[in-house]
A and B are shown apart, each in its own frame.
Chain A
């Protein structure tokens, strides 16, 4: 029996578009745009200037701030400019534009220096390399991994969960990576577990990924500290709070973190990157990305350099088959719709999704008919219809009392709403408003 959390939704997964397509190297772009902030926390300052020559793997941005991760050149070439761009997340930020001078020449990688044997390294040594490699969460949130693995003195970590429960419809990179890079993932998982000094590791996989389950079960059979757990295919099974509830029946407290209940969760891709960094000295300069959607000629799973413009990746996938109605970076449930194709691929971009016009529904929201579908779907057990009314009527304190801040913006409520009310949108506005008020109070 696969276990699960309560509530949630069963969208149409559309994984058939790409799940059988092996990972394939995308063409190396002639120009990359490397944002200096690809993580939650302090932005990096540039370490290079216009006109500088850079080598693939060279660190080009860093900062003293602890919650931060450096960025690296993903191709060899020349820095053309440093300018403000629109990030795929919709925010704006500085980015270094690098153009390759001779793109067919073989590029050599500037490796990370690893002055110790990774197999017997101390936790802080492992963390320092993870930081130098610029590794962040690669499932979307982009929280710096070395910070996540730095556990405060007063907390005890009992479990590490490797998150292979890719739950966004359409996206299949996690699944492909689990099938093709199994060794690296397990190795990365071991490094992370030794950095955390934990003995119990859980590989969490959804039950629609039967091949990946088989491969991991085979490997885990020889590993005493690693257990494979299979979960129901349901959205948002890959959400940290849902996963911890399903795997261990523990609830991350309101406003708290997984480490408050003795757990750290990392995505499978993050684990693979940790392995690459420690074993091969490879900084995070490329990532697998699922380029998919019914509007594309050749949907597939590609390994692409960080900073590759979205339009290059769309071309890589054969270009548009029909007029696109929406292009999204991320998945269909939590991804961000793009006004154009100029933004670059960043560390947290797991998918590029092009939906044809006929799948993009434009309909004006109707009144709430109190059908309670949103209440029954919310994996956090909130009451979206009530929260929406409070936010709409500017009764933000009431929304706060009903736990607006616990909303994980998973989109289940908006997905099921028969009146097509953009509930999550209201919650984003409401949360921003609450934060603004709290800041005002502090000052």
Chain B
């Protein structure tokens, strides 16, 4: 045995083996799981989609870079989280939204939604939704114009709320409808979500609680549950935004309550509120309750008195 071989024995605290999943791997897989939805959007809304998605991602990554540069953490740039924020924001925008606005939105999402709080892991709100909330407040008309290449198509929720017209389920499911880039094809979104749940990267309790609540309460109040499930951004929000790890509870019970609460807010806004859609507010409002939920849903430790 050569003694030099032993010069670099690493001495650190146990455990000495680690799981393969890293932050990077998880974030990039979530990005990949959204690809079907993006492909569908390109197919449905045309090449404008590529412009919006690219500008949104670019804006997010650039903003992230500036902050990381000053914090001397440039090497976390490619952890995939900024790309994910950009991608998610893009999916919540109308297909005709101007590119400068997209850039502004993704800047706000990263700067005000994430980095001012200290970066990944420290933000209380879902950054993509912060970006969207900003755009909706600043440019309400642009954000609710579902017009592309001269064709107006109101969203099914709008049609329902304003004119009482229902849309066919199959069209809703396959996405042959008006709406934001990512809210139209439930099929494409569910495919991505299924992969993530299988890999254990997505917590199923939150979407179950949220969607279950929407189905149940809309049925109770005499509205059509399936219509509510497949229209608007419920599926995108429940599976990809409410489940954002950083901004949702860490306990199982907490996740149920979080999902249920978000679902209730969605129904209240959709049925009785001024806006046709409430998914964004449902999630953002529930984001504020996360510290409390974590505190009061601590699981009973093994051996602790019941």
Q: Is the CB of B22 within 8 A of A420?
A: yes
Q: In this complex, what residue of B is CB-closest to A428?
A: B13
Give the residue of A11, A315, A371 whose beta carbon is less than 8 angstroms from that of B1.
Answer: A315
Q: Is the CB of B121 within 8 A of A368?
A: yes
Residue from the set B14, B251, B301, B305 with the largest chain A CB neighbour count within 10 Å: B14
In the assembly, what is the distance between CA of A431 and CA of B18, in Å? 23
In the assembly, what is the distance between CA of A406 and CA of B300, in Å? 11
Per the 8 Å Cβ criterion, residues 128-150 of B in contact with A are none
In the assembly, what is the distance between CA of A66 and CA of B9, in Å? 38
Q: Is the CB of B245 within 8 A of A382?
A: no
Q: Is the CB of A251 within 8 A of B18?
A: no
In the assembly, what is the distance between CA of A311 and CA of B118, in Å? 47
In the assembly, what is the distance between CA of A106 and CA of B12, in Å? 42
- Write the nearest CB–CB distance from B1 to chain A, whole angstroms: 5
**Is the C-beta of A319 less than 8 angstroms from some C-beta in chain B?**
yes
Q: In this complex, what residue of A is CB-closest to B4?
A: A323
Contacts of B21 in A (CB 8 A): 373, 416, 418
Known: A314-B1, A337-B12. A371 touches B17 (CB 8 A): no
Contacts of A386 in B (CB 8 A): 250, 294
**Is the C-beta of A96 less than 8 angstroms from some C-beta in chain B?**
no
- Does more than half of chain A's interface fall in helix, strand or loop, or is it mixed? loop
**Is the C-beta of A372 less than 8 angstroms from some C-beta in chain B?**
yes
In the assembly, what is the distance between CA of A362 and CA of B203, in Å? 29
Per the 8 Å Cβ criterion, residues 393-443 of A in contact with B are 402-403, 406, 409, 411, 414-420, 422, 424-425, 428
Q: Is the CB of A415 within 8 A of B19?
A: yes
Q: Is the CB of A370 within 8 A of B250?
A: yes
Q: Is the CB of B14 within 8 A of A325?
A: no
Give the residue of B16, B119, B251 whose beta carbon is less than 8 angstroms from that of A332.
Answer: B16
Q: Is the CB of A335 within 8 A of B16?
A: yes
Known: A372-B250, A381-B302, A418-B21. A332 touches B1 (CB 8 A): no
In the assembly, what is the distance between CA of A324 and CA of B8, in Å? 8
In the assembly, what is the distance between CA of A379 and CA of B32, in Å? 32
- Write the nearest CB–CB distance from B75 to chain A, whole angstroms: 9
Q: In this complex, what residue of A is CB-closest to B16?
A: A332
The interface bits of chain A over 322-336 (1 if a CB of B lies within 8 angstroms of the residue's CB, else 0) are 011111101011111
- Write the nearest CB–CB distance from B113 to chain A, whole angstroms: 15
Q: Is the CB of B18 within 8 A of A361?
A: yes
**Is the C-beta of A341 less than 8 angstroms from some C-beta in chain B?**
yes
Per the 8 Å Cβ criterion, residues 115-172 of A in contact with B are 169
Per the 8 Å Cβ criterion, residues 316-365 of A in contact with B are 319-320, 323-328, 330, 332-341, 353, 355, 357, 359-362
Give the residue of A324, A370, A373 whose beta carbon is less than 8 angstroms from that of B5.
Answer: A324
- Write the nearest CB–CB distance from A294 to chain B, whole angstroms: 11
Contacts of B248 in A (CB 8 A): 370
Q: Is the CB of A332 within 8 A of B15?
A: yes
Contacts of A422 in B (CB 8 A): 12-13
Give the residue of B13, B18, B301 whose beta carbon is less than 8 angstroms from that of A382.
Answer: B301
Interface size class of B (residues with CB under 8 A): 35 or more
Contacts of B25 in A (CB 8 A): 418
Q: In this complex, what residue of B is CB-closest to A327?
A: B9
In the assembly, what is the distance between CA of A386 and CA of B10, in Å? 28
**Is the C-beta of A380 less than 8 angstroms from some C-beta in chain B?**
yes
**Is the C-beta of A65 less than 8 angstroms from some C-beta in chain B?**
no
Q: In this complex, what residue of B is CB-closest to A9?
A: B19
In the assembly, what is the distance between CA of A367 and CA of B121, in Å? 6
Q: Is the CB of A370 within 8 A of B302?
A: no
Q: Is the CB of A323 within 8 A of B5?
A: yes
Known: A325-B9, A337-B10, A403-B301. A371 touches B76 (CB 8 A): no
Q: Which of A38-46, A47-55, A252-260, A268-276 contacts B (4 or more CB under 8 A)?
A: A252-260
The interface bits of chain B over 7-45 (1 if a CB of A lies within 8 angstroms of the residue's CB, else 0) are 011111111111101110110000000000000000000
Contacts of B17 in A (CB 8 A): 11-12, 169, 332-333, 359, 415
- Write the nearest CB–CB distance from B80 to chain A, whole angstroms: 11
Q: Is the CB of A367 within 8 A of B122?
A: yes
**Is the C-beta of B120 less than 8 angstroms from some C-beta in chain A?**
yes
**Is the C-beta of A375 less than 8 angstroms from some C-beta in chain B?**
yes
Known: A256-B303, A375-B250, A402-B298. A370 touches B16 (CB 8 A): no
Contacts of B299 in A (CB 8 A): 375, 381, 383
Give the residue of B9, B121, B122 whose beta carbon is less than 8 angstroms from that of A339.
Answer: B9
**Is the C-beta of B6 less than 8 angstroms from some C-beta in chain A?**
yes
Contacts of B15 in A (CB 8 A): 332-334, 411, 414-415, 424
The interface bits of chain B over 270-306 (1 if a CB of A lies within 8 angstroms of the residue's CB, else 0) are 0000000000000000000000001000111111110
In the assembly, what is the distance between CA of A11 and CA of B76, in Å? 27
Contacts of A314 in B (CB 8 A): 1
Q: Is the CB of A369 within 8 A of B9?
A: no
Q: Is the CB of B10 within 8 A of A326?
A: yes
Q: In this complex, what residue of A is CB-closest to B290?
A: A370
Known: A341-B6, A385-B250. A367 touches B1 (CB 8 A): no
In the assembly, what is the distance between CA of A409 and CA of B121, in Å? 25
Residue from the set A245, A254, A379, A428 with the largest chain B CB neighbour count within 10 Å: A254
Q: Is the CB of B245 within 8 A of A369?
A: yes
**Is the C-beta of B246 less than 8 angstroms from some C-beta in chain A?**
yes
Residue from the set B8, B13, B17, B298 with the largest chain A CB neighbour count within 10 Å: B17
Contacts of B13 in A (CB 8 A): 337, 422, 424-425, 428
Residue from the set B119, B121, B246, B301 with the largest chain A CB neighbour count within 10 Å: B301
Q: In this complex, what residue of B is CB-closest to A256?
A: B303
Give the residue of B14, B122, B247, B302 whose beta carbon is less than 8 angstroms from that of A241.
Answer: B302
Residue from the set B76, B121, B302 with the largest chain A CB neighbour count within 10 Å: B302
Contacts of A335 in B (CB 8 A): 14, 16
Q: Is the CB of B121 within 8 A of A369?
A: yes
The interface bits of chain B over 58-90 (1 if a CB of A lies within 8 angstroms of the residue's CB, else 0) are 000000000000000000100100000000000
Contacts of B11 in A (CB 8 A): 326, 337-339
Counting from the closest, the 8 A-B pairs by CB-CB distance are: A411-B15, A367-B121, A372-B250, A425-B13, A371-B245, A381-B299, A332-B17, A333-B15
Beyond the given pairs A333-B17, A337-B16, A338-B9, 13 more chain A to chain B contacts, judged by CB atoms under 8 angstroms and listed by A's residue number, are: A11-B19, A252-B303, A253-B305, A327-B9, A337-B10, A369-B246, A370-B245, A379-B302, A381-B301, A383-B250, A414-B14, A414-B18, A418-B19
Jot down 28 A-B pairs with beta carbons below 8 A, ordered by A. A5-B302, A252-B302, A252-B303, A326-B9, A326-B10, A332-B15, A332-B16, A335-B14, A339-B9, A359-B17, A361-B18, A367-B120, A369-B23, A369-B121, A370-B247, A372-B249, A372-B251, A373-B21, A376-B252, A379-B302, A381-B300, A381-B301, A386-B294, A417-B19, A418-B23, A424-B13, A425-B12, A425-B13
